[in-house]
Amino acid sequence: MENILLQSADYEPTLPVSEKSNPLTRHIDRAPASSIVKMLQACDAEMFLEKSQTQYQRLLSEEMVKTLMEVAERVRLILKDPQDSLVVLSGCGTSGRLAFFMASGFNRELQRLNYAPVYSYVIAGGDRALFSSQEAPEDDPTLGALRLKKVSEGKKRVLFVGVSCGLSAPFVAGQLDFCLRHPDVYTPVLVGFNPAHQARNEPIPGCTLTFHSVVTRMEELAKTQKAFLINPGLGPEAISGSSRMKGGSATKILLEVVFSASFSRTPVTFNLILQHMRSYEKALDFTYSHSQEIAALMEAAGRSLQCGRQVCYLGWGSLGLLGLIDASECKPTFGADHEDIRGFVSGGYKELGNNEGDLTLMGPEFSISHDDFLDGVLPRLTDDDTVLLLYSDSDDIDKVAKLAHRVREKTSNIHAAYHQTAGDAAAKQDDINKLCSSTIIFTWPQETPERLQHLRELSTKLLLNAVSTGAHIFKGKVFKNYMIDLQVTNSKLYRRAARLMQKLSGHSESECEEALLKAIYQVDKLSEDIATCSLETHTHTAGKAKKVVPLALVCLLSGCSIKEAESRLEQQPIVRKAVEACLKSS
Ligand code: F1P
């Protein structure tokens, strides 16, 4: 029943699906770990609901599968002419990170099959946004178009895949518009998870576009296959608006299905696509069949965050990269510090092959190799920190064991998620097991190596999303199913924060925005100057402040000054409890 309710137009009618709150997770903030995992499983399972149960296109809808087949055929054409053609993947935040993840993964796969690489990526904010939160460039459509133009200079045929889960990022709207204005070279593909009419219609400063107007033009061209829309409904996220979760997973599933089909030796058929999608559904069920172990890991990570300590993911290959991605998302989503959850990948930048190369000198957030971990983090580790190894039977087990030994000397709070194939269990892996206080062993059925890798990656993504989300719930960074300490660093996040304040406080839109601005600028009275500043200035200033939304809420609900709200939040660092206390007494 709730599944149907949450898809229906009259549930939170003014919000697009991607911003709605999910009835399944209404009480996730008070749930024990085992129930949190169950709720996440139920939410993720919604991705694969059939259309008959909802009113929108779904991942497995006939129309969707047909569109994927058509796009795969377009990619096939590009593979035949690598000299003059290109596939560009682009997005902001998680969507941009996954663009990089898939572009580099598929180029590697093409090289292995003796094809020339044809994939490029563009992420808003450049490579520094791969591992750190850079939300502001998301608002700039001109920058998006410029970056696309630059990366595809001189190409005669470009398939552009723009990902914006909420059909909302101006950066991507600018790129799609650029494609529509140069149809001789560019064919645009839009990936997102709202029906087209829910695309964001907010005017973008300095330009005449809205995301919605671009989507409307694309819909027209889609009729003649000059543009493609891949926008199935997935149901609302477990944490409202947290598109890194289902949005990110579905982006990965859809694009992998398309790109894999494009270079399969057999013709792309409806059933081939459908079967491939179903294999991800099975991978999801299989991952959550380890729900008890996932819950235990979530608890361990939560304990570390609660006592102000750290969670470190130490991964190999693409699983390590997923660790980096998961960790980097915690800052905008939960107002986390970059030290709270950190990812490290074996080989660091050498392994990644990102556009801008080694970024280590940009600051501590950009130290991402295991060596960086050994130098900078290991010496300070204690039993209060949680370390999670992410590896598989295709990695160098000796190296994993060596690192595990070093970590074990400093902390017993070491865990592992290990992927193996049925019948291929590695004996040496037992030694690592003995060093770890828990190991989740995922034993996969035999599959082709590349498909197996994709499924293991999805599984790892789900696991990490669960661990980091659950740990932040325990730290009090979620209220009901809302991110209560989100960063307010771009227009989408600003609007989300203002809406959340209205919902929780019952105050008017203008009162909430006033409180939000006071918290951003750290003042008790708004000057004329501040009130007339642009949204861009507000979001830029918000990037320098901490706990903006909790501060604004405490002030609004209790009528106290910013200083007093700060001291209340210091006395009660569990933001959820501080806000609850105000709600009770207001
Ligand atoms: C892009 C994005 C998210 C991020 C944050 C801000 O969203 O950067 O990835 O987690 O919520 O927005 P979208 O354009 O894919 O909807």
DSSP result, 16-76: -GGGSPPGGGTTGGG--HHHHHHHHHHHHHGGG--GGGSSS--TT-HHHHHHHHHHHHHHH
Q: What is the pLDDT of residues 187-222, one digit of tens each?
A: 999 999 999 999 999 999 989 999 999 999 999 999
Statement: residue 5 has pLDDT above 50: no
Predicted pLDDT at 53: 57
| φ/ψ (deg, to 5) at 57 | -55, 145
Residue span(s) of the chain under CATH 3.40.50.10490 come to 62-268
pLDDT at position 422, please? 86
Query: Which residue's CA is minimally distant from atom 12 of ligand 1?
Result: 93
Give the length of the chain: 586
Mean pLDDT, range 495-508, rounded to an integer:
94
List every span in the chain annotated with CATH 1.10.8.1080: 484-584
* Spacing, Cα 95 to ligand 1 middle (Å): 7
Confidence at residue 66, expressed as pLDDT on a 0 to 100 scale:
97
Banded pLDDT at 167 (limits 50, 70, 90) = very high
What's the confidence (pLDDT) of residue 426?
65
Give the model's confidence band at 12: pLDDT under 50 very low, under 70 low, under 90 confident, else very high.
confident
Residues of the chain with CATH 3.40.50.12620: 290-476
Least confident of 162-176, 412-426, 467-481, 493-507: 412-426
Tokens of 154: 């001189």
- From 100, 134, 135, the mutation candidate for ligand 1 (largest count of ligand atoms within 8 A of CB) is 135
For 465-495, letters b (16+ CB in 10 Å) and e give bbbbbbbbbbbbbbbbbbbbbbbbbbbbbbb
CATH number (2.40.40.20, 3.40.640.10, 3.40.50.12620, 3.90.930.12) of 290-476 reads 3.40.50.12620
Q: Phi and psi at residue 388, in whole multiples of 5°?
A: -125, 120
Point out the ligand 1 atom lying closest to the alpha carbon of residue 332: 5
Give the torsion sign (CA, 68, 105, 121, 487).
Answer: positive
d(CA 305, CA 341): 8
Contact 29, 480 (CB under 8 A): yes
Q: Indicate if ligand 1 lies below 6 Å from the C-beta of 16.
A: no
Give yes or no for residue 103 having a pLDDT over 70.
yes
Question: Ligand 1 pocket: which of 198, 492, 495 to mutate (most atoms <8 Å of CB)?
Answer: 492
How much distance in Å is there from the Cα of 131 to the middle of ligand 1? 14
How far, in Å, are 130, 297, 418 from residue 398 at the CA level? 29, 24, 14
55-73: average pLDDT: 93
Asked if residue 256 has its Cβ within 6 Å of ligand 1, the reply is no
Tell me, what's the pLDDT at 3?
47
- So what's the pLDDT on residue 67? 98
State residue 457's pLDDT score.
Answer: 98
Q: Is the beta carbon of 137 within 6 A of some atom in ligand 1? A: no
Closest-CA residue to 289 (of 484, 516, 41): 41
Cβ 164 under 6 angstroms from ligand 1: yes
Give the Å distance between the CA of 92 and the centre of ligand 1.
6
The response to whether residue 243 sits with its C-beta less than 6 Å from ligand 1 reads yes
For the segment(s) 62-268, the CATH number from 2.102.10.10, 3.40.50.10490, 1.10.150.130, 3.40.50.970 is 3.40.50.10490
Contacts by residues 3-12 (CB-CB < 8 Å, ≥ 24 positions apart)? 3/46, 3/49, 3/53, 3/54, 3/235, 4/53, 4/54, 6/46, 6/235, 6/236, 7/53, 7/54, 7/55, 7/56, 7/233, 7/235, 8/55, 9/55
For the Cβ of 244 lying below 6 angstroms from any atom of ligand 1, the answer is yes
CA 163 to ligand 1: nearest atom: 15
Q: Is pLDDT above 60 for 35?
A: yes
Atom of ligand 1 nearest to the CA of 251: 15
Indicate if ligand 1 lies below 6 Å from the C-beta of 94. yes
Tell me: pLDDT of 9 over 60.
Answer: no
Which residue lies with its CA nearest to atom 14 of ligand 1?
164
Residue 238 predicted with pLDDT over 70: yes
In this predicted model, what pLDDT tens digit does every residue of 113-146 receive, in sequence order? 899 999 999 999 999 999 998 888 999 999 999 9
Spatial distance between the Cα atoms of 114 and 99, rounded to a whole number of angstroms? 22
Measured from the CB, is residue 572 less than 6 Å from ligand 1?
A: no
169 Cβ inside 6 Å of ligand 1? yes
Nearest in space to 192 (alpha carbons), one of 88, 94, 316, 304: 94
Least confident of 347-356, 414-423, 521-530, 569-578: 569-578
Counting ligand 1 atoms within 8 A of each CB, the residue from 20, 95, 334 with the most, and so the one to mutate, is 95
Whether 32 has a pLDDT exceeding 90, the answer reads yes
C-alpha 93 – ligand 1 centre gap (Å): 5
pLDDT tier, 1 (very low <50, low <70, confident <90, very high otherwise)? very low
- Average pLDDT on 338-344 reads 97
Q: Which pLDDT belongs to residue 4?
A: 44
Q: Is 245 a pocket residue for ligand 1 (Cβ < 6 Å)?
A: no
pLDDT at position 425 over 70: no
11 pLDDT higher than 80: no
> Which carries the bigger pLDDT value, residue 498 or residue 580?
498
pLDDT of res. 200: 97
Q: Does 575 score more than 90 pLDDT?
A: no
What pLDDT is stored for residue 6 in this prediction? Answer: 45
Question: Is CATH 3.30.200.20 correct for 484-584?
Answer: no
Which atom of ligand 1 lies closest to the CA of 490?
A: 6
Q: Report the separation in Å between the CA atom of 94 and the middle of ligand 1, taken as the mean of its atom positions.
A: 6
pTM for this model (two decimals): 0.96
- Average pLDDT (395-402) is 95
Which atom of ligand 1 lies nearest, measured to the CA of 166?
16
Atom of ligand 1 nearest to the CA of 167: 16
Please give the residue that has the higher pLDDT: either 245 or 268. Answer: 245
- ipTM topping 0.90: yes
Least confident of 36-45, 219-228, 424-433: 424-433
Average model confidence (pLDDT) across the chain: 94
| β-strand partners of 447 | none
Helix (H) or strand (E) holding 440: strand 438-444
Q: Is residue 497 over pLDDT 90? A: yes
Q: Span 328-352, mean pLDDT?
A: 95
Distance 452 CA to ligand 1 centre (A): 28
Query: Could you tell me how far CA 140 lies from the centroid of its own chain?
Result: 20
- Burial code (b: 16+ CB inside 10 Å, e: under 16) for 227-248 equals bbbbbbbbbbbbbbbbbbbbbb
Q: What confidence score (pLDDT) does residue 298 get? A: 98
The angle subtended at Cα 338 by Cα 336 and Cα 344, nearest 5°, is 130
